[in-house]
Structure 1
């Protein structure tokens, strides 16, 4: 039990630092745009290039973690993430911002999947939903921390001062390396020669038609998850500043309200998974997300904006908590980190293009069209989720194995 808790604490902290860094871009976006004299679409590419880096880092470090160990590679990803974040504050042109955000993305992309694999291998299947939700709320803790730090640091030090906070993960990486042991399940699998031969091979994600179909379906769902999140969190503060006349401080309050809703949604979703299964849980939240996002375009007044933001956050990002458990159900331990990192970070890279599209929509249409686009994405994800097979069988198998073990 002590080891289980350590895996959660390490993964939560890593995702908190990652979520904080991503939201720094959101709060600093208008200042970066003004500083380098770029348009909104060009500014949106900062987030997109970060997600492309996450895809590269996810594949590279996912394979390395399956071959050489979770904890060792996990600390390397955190170091790289910290270096890229701190260097962003030293950028003298937009091209350097792109480069340093790519480096930070490479580290962050590896960190997510490895942390999720550690948790999945430490917790029994009937508790993986809630364990995954505990980890996922780390990103929202990071959002809240970013909102507070932005309100304090931006007026004093400008946007560069935010990214100098990126040196903090170095301390965390040192702590993880000293206090967290390697995954027992990975160590056991390492002793099996057949597993060693197949460990960390990307082709195993598409080596059979059904496996390829499942991988593609999970990539689409992950893409929608990231596209919805980025579209909402990167541009909604700016949307609300224009449509509702909110100040920067009011936008920070909205961000905190939405993040609180997301945390509640994640914790609820994790319990839903353990009680009702993955398909039912995703079905409910995907439909509710599409409705909530579409209706939010009609919100007026500060109270409606705050409450509506919390409701949108509850459903749309509550599902984020389930991807660690979802992907882990389909892939064995020898490629679990590779699968989690590759699938989710491919979704990050593709979904990371959403801020560019939302920025384009806002320049040529209005908030209603942008929110309709986001609502449509959740409808697509719902249809894809229905096409995935094998979840119920795998869940039942996991429950039966637990009963036999006890």
Structure 2
């Protein structure tokens, strides 16, 4: 396959991955402005329900691949997999912009036309912060720098685990644990069901005990689960259970992490901050993949490689999470926004 073509396709696919950070920003602001007090109070949990569609989608995609691969080949599977994206493209037209974004856009127009005082008064009326300069510069100012740096490292090293246990999950199970491909696919599907329940649990735990510590604890428990799977599990049922626990503790915390990221920034740079952090996972994938390739090429086995790269990355990301600042969960930047403004 032409490498230029492959890079181009993967670059477009990256736009889809970026959706999750924008989605977290969008829902964070929508829930902050809602008049429904139950949703506002439990918004982290509500977000986890929305985000839990991700592991369910991976579960469905694995089943979809297993059924259609013998019939249409891998090219046909890719073509059919594009159809849900087209449906989403149509559904997005029914979404409205957040009140915060609408107000910022209006303030920007006022400033551009020379009405600086009116713009400042509009932003002040709804409690929106606008003194941080350009968004990419703002996420590194003194107020946000610590969380930007630590969360960037969390994403970078956590994706060592993602490349090992998710992207190369079936390869690890076949070459590392000796399972047949058909069985490894079933294990992979079952593990993603574990991720689904993990999303729901960590959404609730993050709401109750704080998102930062729950994310850190979850990643550390994922490292323990993967270690037991690699070094202790010797039969298919045990591998399946421990892999599911690993995915439970690995994927689940992202429900709390994504929403926590939105709480780390003010409205003027929230989307930039969450997108920047989300993007840091990709260099982690590249570096982690390069290390895996080098270790396997040197003659090391999958168990040793997965322990060093996958478990090591997940464990380190859990520790780094505790270096972030605790954010007040009900600190609504722009909490005085009237939802009617977005109509």
Bucket of the pairwise TM-score, normalised by the shorter protein: 0.7 to 0.9
Contact 1:327 1:340 in 2 (8 A): yes
Larger relative contact order (Cα-Cα within 8 Å, sequence gap ≥ 6): 2
Contact 1:225 1:317 in 2 (8 A): no
Query: Are positions 1:171 and 2:87 aligned together?
Result: yes
Q: What does residue 202 of structure 2 align with?
A: 269
Deviation of 1:397 after TM superposition, in Å, equals 4.4
Picking from 91, 96, 100, the partner of 1:181 is: 96
Deviation of 1:139 after TM superposition, in Å, equals 1.9
Query: Are positions 1:143 and 2:50 aligned together?
Result: no
- Rg bigger for which structure? 2
Change in CA separation of 1:190 and 1:153 when aligned onto 2, cut-off 3 Å: same
Deviation of 1:232 after TM superposition, in Å, equals 0.5
Deviation of 1:256 after TM superposition, in Å, equals 0.7
Query: Are positions 1:206 and 2:122 aligned together?
Result: no
For residues 199 and 291 of structure 1, the distance between their equivalents in structure 2, rounded to whole angstroms, comes to 43
Contact 1:265 1:319 in 2 (8 A): yes
Deviation of 1:136 after TM superposition, in Å, equals 2.5
Deviation of 1:121 after TM superposition, in Å, equals 1.0
Picking from 320, 324, 331, the partner of 1:384 is: 320
Contact 2:202 2:253 in 1 (8 A): yes
Query: Are positions 1:221 and 2:154 aligned together?
Result: yes
Consecutive unaligned residues in structure 1, runs of 5 or more: 1-91
Secondary structure of 1:123 counterpart: helix
Cα-to-partner distance string for 1:293-320 (whole Å, 9 max, x where unaligned): 2111021111111111111111112111
The alignment's TM-score, normalised by the length of structure 1, stands at 0.69
For residues 88 and 313 of structure 2, the distance between their equivalents in structure 1, rounded to whole angstroms, comes to 36
Deviation of 1:239 after TM superposition, in Å, equals 2.1
Deviation of 1:352 after TM superposition, in Å, equals 4.2
Query: Are positions 1:93 and 2:40 aligned together?
Result: no
Secondary structure of 1:256 counterpart: helix
Contact 1:132 1:324 in 2 (8 A): no
Change in CA separation of 1:344 and 1:291 when aligned onto 2, cut-off 3 Å: same
For residues 43 and 91 of structure 2, the distance between their equivalents in structure 1, rounded to whole angstroms, comes to 25
For residues 330 and 54 of structure 2, the distance between their equivalents in structure 1, rounded to whole angstroms, comes to 30
Deviation of 1:218 after TM superposition, in Å, equals 0.8
Q: What does residue 103 of structure 1 align with?
A: 12
Q: What does residue 77 of structure 2 align with?
A: 162
Query: Are positions 1:296 and 2:229 aligned together?
Result: yes
Which has more helix, going by share of residues?
A: 1
Q: Report the number of matched residues.
A: 305
Deviation of 1:265 after TM superposition, in Å, equals 0.9
Picking from 196, 211, 214, the partner of 1:281 is: 214
Contact 1:226 1:348 in 2 (8 A): yes
Deviation of 1:292 after TM superposition, in Å, equals 1.1
Contact 1:240 1:246 in 2 (8 A): yes
Deviation of 1:196 after TM superposition, in Å, equals 6.9
Contact 1:234 1:355 in 2 (8 A): no
Consecutive unaligned residues in structure 2, runs of 5 or more: 33-39, 108-118, 121-128, 337-343
For residues 258 and 167 of structure 2, the distance between their equivalents in structure 1, rounded to whole angstroms, comes to 24
Change in CA separation of 1:283 and 1:170 when aligned onto 2, cut-off 3 Å: closer
Picking from 303, 307, 311, the partner of 1:375 is: 311
Query: What pairs up with 1:3-402 in 2 under 5 angstroms?
Result: 92-105=1-14, 107-124=15-32, 126-165=41-80, 166-177=82-93, 179-192=94-107, 193=119, 201-208=135-142, 210-297=143-230, 298-363=232-297, 364-373=299-308, 374-391=310-327, 394-395=328-329, 397=331
For residues 234 and 396 of structure 1, the distance between their equivalents in structure 2, rounded to whole angstroms, comes to 35
Contact 2:191 2:245 in 1 (8 A): yes
Deviation of 1:126 after TM superposition, in Å, equals 3.6
Q: What does residue 124 of structure 2 align with?
A: none
Deviation of 1:234 after TM superposition, in Å, equals 2.0
For residues 197 and 174 of structure 1, the distance between their equivalents in structure 2, rounded to whole angstroms, comes to 36
Deviation of 1:99 after TM superposition, in Å, equals 2.0
Contact 1:123 1:131 in 2 (8 A): no
Deviation of 1:153 after TM superposition, in Å, equals 2.1
Change in CA separation of 1:182 and 1:397 when aligned onto 2, cut-off 3 Å: closer
Contact 2:190 2:240 in 1 (8 A): yes
The alignment's TM-score, normalised by the length of structure 2, stands at 0.81
